[in-house]
């Protein structure tokens, strides 16, 4: 007999919905778009031909609908990999656990998880205003210290090289590659690079305001790494967690980034809304 998942491990609300997301298994599509900002959810779903569901709880707003005959869910995650831990685990539970029996379904369902987010360039070849696909997510946070991982050989070698190069900074980064199939379908014509996921917005991304930074040359150290044929291109706060948990749970994931800042030139875009809108249209046209 399959192991029953404890009520304290998988919390289900009285109405049969999952604890944080407030969703039932039938509420989500197999294709999931994640956005950080809850206000971006309707900016995505306005392109749907039909919206069948709108739900929300805390920062987690969900719309499910159709573009043509394709069913799509868009959900806001909020900021950071701590929220990604909640969203990815609960989406997986919705897809792969029988809530009544509290047991894992015999047939595993693979979700396609597409992050549409914003980011800052730390690479001279990635211009502000452009769109970038993350070939890999490199996490500077500690999320994946708590999960077993199943990396391919190339990811293992690349991760070990990066860890060795940055160990004097007291960092132990984890690395996971994107879904090859999603890269080939959604990002075939988009520049690609390794996206660094930081556990904060200010010092963890090399910004200097008032508090003194412990690592004063973080961006320089990241961009100086020789990872041929790959290169580190940008900084944000979710991609590595999405890639690593998707890998651990058997899902496909890709992160598409609207580049709103040039960290090398100390500049921020004057038209961030237009850049994000361009990204949304580009990806949704391909999904349709």
Domain boundary assignment for the chain: 31-286
Residue 133 CA from chain centroid, whole number: 11
pLDDT tens digits for 219-265? 999 999 999 999 999 999 999 999 999 999 999 999 999 999 999 99
Contact residues for 115 (Cβ-Cβ < 8 A; gap 6+): 33, 34, 35, 238, 239, 242, 253, 254, 255, 256
What phi and psi values does residue 180 have, to the nearest 5 degrees? -60, -40
Give the separation between CA 25 and CA 151, rounded to whole angstroms: 29
Dmax (CA) of the chain: 60
Residue 203 CA from chain centroid, whole number: 21
Q: Structure tokens of 22?
A: 């407030």
**CB atoms near residue 187 (< 10 Å):** 23
Q: What does DSSP assign to residue 49? A: S
Residue 103 contacts residue 143 (beta carbons within 8 Å): no
Handedness of CA 199, 202, 204, 207 (dihedral sign): positive
Asked if residue 112 has pLDDT above 80, the reply is yes
pLDDT above 70 as % of the chain = 100
Give the separation between CA 47 and CA 268, rounded to whole angstroms: 27
Beta strands at 50-57 and 60-67: parallel, antiparallel or unpaired = antiparallel
pLDDT tens digits for 11-43? 999 999 999 999 999 999 999 999 999 999 999
Q: What residue has token string 């909020």?
A: 78
Q: Structure tokens of 198?
A: 């930081």
pLDDT tens digits for 258-278? 999 999 999 999 999 999 999
Residue 238 contacts residue 115 (beta carbons within 8 Å): yes
Orientation angle between helical segments 239-249 and 81-96, nearest 10 degrees: 30
As a CATH number, domain 31-286 is 3.40.50.1580
pLDDT tens digits for 192-218? 999 999 999 999 999 999 999 999 999
Task: Bin 250: left if φ > 0, else alpha if -120 < ψ < 50, else beta.
Answer: left
Q: What does DSSP assign to residue 26? A: G
Give the separation between CA 116 and CA 21, rounded to whole angstroms: 19
Of 253, 240, 286, 249, the residue nearest 178 (C-alpha):
253
Q: What residue has token string 């452009």?
A: 130
């Amino acid at each position: 007999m399959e192991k029953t998942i404890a009520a304290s491990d998988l919390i289900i609300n009285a109405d049969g919905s999952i604890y944080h997301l407030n969703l039932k298994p039938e509420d989500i599509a197999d294709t999931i778009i994640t956005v950080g900002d809850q206000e971006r959810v309707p900016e995505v779903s306005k392109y749907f031909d039909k919206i069948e569901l709108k739900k929300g709880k805390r920062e987690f707003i969900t719309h499910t609908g159709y573009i043509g005959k394709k069913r799509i869910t868009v959900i806001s995650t909020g900021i950071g990999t701590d929220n990604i831990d909640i969203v990815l685990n609960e989406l997986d539970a919705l897809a792969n656990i029988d809530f009544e029996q509290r047991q894992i379904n015999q047939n595993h369902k693979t979700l396609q998880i597409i992050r549409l987010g914003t980011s800052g360039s730390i690479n001279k070849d990635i211009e502000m205003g452009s769109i970038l696909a993350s070939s890999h997510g490199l996490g500077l946070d500690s999320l994946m210290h708590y999960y077993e991982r199943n990396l391919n050989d190339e990811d293992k070698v690349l991760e070990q090289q990066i860890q060795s190069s940055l160990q004097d900074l007291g960092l132990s980064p984890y690395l996971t590659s994107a879904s090859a199939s999603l890269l080939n379908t959604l990002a075939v014509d988009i520049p690609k690079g390794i996206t660094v996921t930081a556990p904060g917005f200010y010092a963890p991304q090399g910004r200097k305001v008032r508090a003194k930074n412990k690592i004063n040359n973080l961006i320089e150290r990241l961009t100086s790494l020789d990872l041929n044929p790959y290169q580190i291109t940008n900084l944000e706060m979710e991609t590595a967690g999405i890639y690593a948990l998707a890998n651990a749970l058997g899902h496909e994931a890709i992160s598409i980034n609207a580049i709103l800042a040039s960290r090398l030139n100390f500049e921020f875009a004057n038209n961030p809304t237009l850049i994000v809108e361009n990204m949304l249209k580009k990806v949704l046209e391909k999904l349709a």
